[in-house]
Amino acid sequence: MSILGATKFFSNPNYKHGSADKVGVLLVNLGTPEAPTADALRPYLKEFLSDPRVVEIPRLIWWPILNLIILNVRPKKSAEKYLSVWTEQGSPLMVNSLGQLAGLKRKLKGRNEKIVVELAMRYGKPSINSAILKMMEQDVDKLLILPLYPQYSGSTTATVFDKVFESISKLRNPPSIRLRKSFHDHPDYIVAVANDIEKFWLKNGKPEHLLFSFHGVPVRSLQDGDPYHCQCHKTARMVSEKLALKESQWTISFQSRFGKAEWLKPYTTSTIVNLAEEKNIRKLHVICPGFISDCLETLEEINMEAREDFLNAGGSSFKYIPCLNFSENSINLLHMLVKDEIEGWDRRGLKDEEKEKELSFQRKKALLLGAKT
C-alpha cells in the first residue's frame, strides 16, 4: 500500500523467481458483439465509439450525440446487418481470429515451448487486459503485440497500443514490450494476398477488373500525418505488380464512411457504379486487403451491398475474394511476422530448430573425427 493511499497492482504470487522467461505473442483484432442483437450491440458500439482515436470530436459535443441519439438508433440497424453474416459458430471475425490463433499455436508447437500465444479484441471480449493478465500468470516476461491490421492507422493500431500501455501500467512486474506497427508491405503478406487471388482466379476465372477496397478514414487523418492512405496505396500497387496487372486492370477505393465529414476517396460505392456505368465493366472482382479476417465490413458491406450496387448499375458478374482468414497462407504470414519480431530478442527465439541441427551436425562431425583418430 502506498503512503499516499491504496494503490492496487496486479500481483502474481505464483511467480517462480529465477525461472526462465517466456515470450508472449498477443494477436489483437478490432472486436465483435457477442450476439447479433441490439442488446449485444449497444455496449460494443458504446465502447468502440467512445474511443477518442475513433471519433475525434470534442467529448462535450460527442457525448450527447452518442448516448442520446446513436446508441438509441444504431444498435438495432447494426444487429440486422450482423445477423445477415452470423454463422452457427458465431461472429465471422471471431471464428476467423480463433482459427488464426489455433493455426499459429500449431505452427509454433514443438519449436519453442516458451512462446505463449493469446488472442484479444480491442473492443469486446476477450479484452486486451484479460489476455495480458492470462499471460502474466504464465510467467511471460517479454510481450509482442501484433495488431491484425496490415496498414497502420491511428484509429486502429494506435488505439491497440493505447490499451496495451493502460493494461501494463496496472502490473507490478510488467513485461518488456514490442509493438508491430504494420505489415502492409511485408513480402510474405503481399505474396499471401496475391496467391489467394490467383487461386480464386483459377477456380472462378479472371475478371475484367480488380477492385481493392480498403476501410476508409476521415481525410483529416491524412492531413494530420496518418500514413494509412499511403500504406493502402502501396499494398494495392505491390499486389497488382505481383499479379502482373496493368494499371487499367485495377482500382483502389475506400469504404465504410461514417458521419458527414469528408473521408478518403474514391468511395467504394461510387467507384463500383462508375466501373459498371462509365467504364462498361461487366465482370468485377473485389478484395479487401485492409482486413486479414472477413467480418461485417467485407461480408455484408461488400459481398452484399456492393454486389447489389454493381448489378443494379449494369454489371453482370460480381465476385468477392475472401480475406486470408485462417488459410495456410495466413498462418505462414503470422508465423513469419512473429519470427521477424522476436528473433534476437529471445536468444532462442524461433531458431532453436536450426541451432539444434547445427549442434547435431557438430556432434556427428566430432564423433567422426574421434573415430578416425
Q: DSSP labels for 339-362?
A: HHHHBTTBSSTTTHHHHHHHHHHH
Non-local CB neighbours of 32 within 8 Å, separated by 6+ positions: 44, 91, 93, 94, 121, 124, 295
C-alpha cell at 344: 534476437
* 350, part of any domain: no
Enter the pTM of the model: 0.88
Helix (H, G, I), strand (E, B) or coil at 285: strand
In the block, cell 452484399 appears at 304
Tell me if 275 is assigned to some domain: yes
- The residue length of the chain stands at 373
Q: What is the mean pLDDT of each run of 10 residues along the chain (373 residues)?
A: 55 67 93 97 97 94 95 96 96 98 90 82 97 93 96 97 96 94 97 96 97 96 96 98 97 89 94 96 98 97 97 97 96 95 64 54 59 52
The tally of CA atoms less than 13 A away on the side-chain side of residue 207 is 28
Residues forming a β-bridge with 215: 255
**Residue 1, domain member (yes or no):** no
Is 309 within a domain?
yes
Q: pLDDT value at position 103?
A: 96
Is 206 among the domain residues? yes
Q: Is residue 246 in a domain?
A: yes
Q: What is the pLDDT of residues 225-262, one digit of tens each?
A: 999 999 999 999 999 999 999 999 999 999 988 777 89
For residue 90, give the amino acid letter: G
**DSSP state at residue 302:** I
Kind plus residue range of the DSSP H or E element containing 335:
helix 328-342
CATH code of the domain in which 317 resides: 3.40.50.1400
Cα–chain center distance at 84 = 22
Give me the pLDDT at residue 250, please: 98
Query: Is 139 a member of any domain?
Result: no
Q: pLDDT digit string (tens) for 169-200?
A: 999 999 999 999 999 999 999 999 999 999 99
- Before 187, cis peptide (omega within 30)? no
**pLDDT on residue 319:** 98
Question: What is the DSSP annotation of 44-74?
Answer: HHHHHHT-TTTS-S-HHHHHHIIIIIIHHHH
Q: State the amino acid at position 304 in one-letter form.
A: M
Number of domains in the chain: 1
**Does residue 332 sit within a domain?**
no
Domain range for 198: 187-321
Q: Within 10 A of 220 (CB to CB), how many other CB atoms are there?
A: 12
DSSP string of 194-207, one letter each residue = HHHHHHHHHHH---
